Homo-oligomer: A and B are copies of this chain.
């Protein structure tokens, strides 16, 4: 089975222009969209999305079905917008429709959500999963992806109150549903979600062989990676970048999130804790 292989990036810290990490130089996320390296698919040309926070307002989302590398409006936006917290996602679809409503990040109220991976045999379990979404949330589902269904299930299980608990319940529910339908390894995911202040990142798969997930701990390494960037030179030590795959080649800049763990990027000390799905 060919797995869909997306790429994503979450940034939290000193406000910078989106283009610093999305567009500039040949190590940016957009560059990765054209020259996939570790991807299961050869390119990420099936759409792009970015969500960003400014002035403590609800996030804005720009999503396009064009390849990120040839979307001029995205470059304009990335050059014109600065933000202390933003998500970006490039998509490689293996079947579901290429449309903005299937493009990450997904938004609900002040929350954003993005995902790399898949719910295996989603068409077979989709109905049961969607049926479990809370009545009041159901009308907000706009697309047809497994990723969006995961988001609304997590919201149903209390994402806004206790994110880690809600995601553990969501994954537990997806795994139970999948297995009841004869799917051996229902879940494969790296997920990032945020309320605009804290970023939660999850790495998990039913088979214990998850897609990669990294976060930057040492800003000095990141700065070293982009010596020519005045903006990056001023990043606070609180600044964090979480990525599905490392940007650039400075191994030192990136720490891998262990299998079945959740990372929490927040004011003060970050956290790394085991992640255990619960029925």
Contacts and interface: CB of A to CB of B under 8 A. Distances in A.
Interface string A183-205: 00000000000000000000000
A127 B131 contact: yes
Among A93, A101, A123, A141, find the residue whose CB has the most chain B CB atoms closer than 10 A.
A101
Given A67-B67, A144-B101, A62 B54 contact: no
B61 A76 contact: yes
B93 A97 contact: no
A76 B54 CA distance: 12
A270 interface: no
A35 interface: yes
Interface range, A side: 35 or more
A218 interface: no
A127 B63 CA distance: 26
A43 interface: yes
A279 interface: no
A85 B43 CA distance: 31
Interface string A41-75: 01101100000101000001111111101101100
Contacts of A69: 45
Contacts of A135: 127
Contact of A98 (B46, B61, B70, B124): B70
B45 A60 contact: no
Interface of A: 34-36, 42-43, 45-46, 52, 54, 60-67, 69-70, 72-73, 76-77, 79-81, 93, 97-101, 123-124, 126-127, 130-131, 135, 138-139, 141-144
